[in-house]
């Protein structure tokens, strides 16, 4: 009985440690910072991912309408894997919002409609 209790406690500690280590942390990728003085939205995805394809259309529309205020960038796992590691991306699509200094200020997992992205950009004061 005592062995079982120690075994369970050990597993719980191991699981908690794993969650702490793999929890998404704000980071700044080396050489991938947004243009100086300009916030950014990085869309992490893959060419074959259906929701990622939808987000590509959303990002293109946002770039056309707000590209002067925010850098919009598609980051594909098969092309830029180091950025996935740097930003600790565990699922796609994931949107990472970076302030003008390149510091992560928010992230979202899953596809978002254009209206929701605009709402988040306004909330973060990235756009007027």
Q: What pLDDT tens digit does each residue of the chain (128 aa) get? A: 665 555 545 444 444 444 434 444 444 444 455 556 799 999 999 999 999 999 999 999 999 999 999 999 999 998 999 999 999 999 999 999 999 999 999 999 999 999 999 999 999 999 98
Per-residue model confidence (pLDDT) at position 59: 96
d(CA 59, CA 72): 6
Per-residue model confidence (pLDDT) at position 53: 93
Q: What is the maximal distance between C-alpha atoms in the chain? A: 65
Strand 71-76, strand 40-45: pairing:
parallel
Structure tokens at 89: 């991306």
d(CA 77, CA 84): 7
Whether residue 61 contacts residue 117, with contact meaning beta carbons closer than 8 Å, is answered with no
**Among 53, 63, 68, which residue's Cα sits nearest to residue 117?**
63
Domains and CATH numbers, the chain: 26-123 (3.40.30.10)
Per-residue model confidence (pLDDT) at position 18: 44
3-state helix, strand, coil in the chain (%, to 5): 40, 20, 40
| Entry pTM | 0.72
Query: Can you name the residues that pair with 98 across neighbouring β-strands?
Result: 40, 104
Per-residue model confidence (pLDDT) at position 128: 84
Per-residue model confidence (pLDDT) at position 37: 78
Q: Kindly compute the dihedral angle of the four CA atoms of residues 90, 96, 99, 102, in this order, to the nearest 10 degrees.
A: 50
Per-residue model confidence (pLDDT) at position 1: 64
Q: Which residues are known catalytic residues?
A: 49, 52
């Amino acid at each position: 009985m005592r062995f079982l209790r120690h075994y369970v406690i050990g597993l719980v500690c191991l699981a908690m440690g794993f969650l702490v280590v793999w929890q998404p942390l704000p980071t700044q990728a080396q050489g991938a910072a947004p243009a100086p003085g300009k916030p950014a939205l990085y869309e992490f995805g893959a060419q074959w991912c259906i929701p990622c394809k939808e987000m590509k259309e959303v990002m293109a529309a946002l770039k056309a309408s707000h590209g002067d205020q925010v850098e919009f960038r598609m980051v594909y796992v098969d092309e830029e894997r180091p950025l996935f590691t740097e930003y600790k991306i565990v699922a796609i699509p994931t949107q990472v919002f970076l302030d003008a200094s390149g510091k992560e200020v928010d992230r979202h997992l899953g596809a978002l409609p254009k209206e929701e992205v605009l709402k988040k950009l306004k909330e973060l004061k990235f756009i007027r």
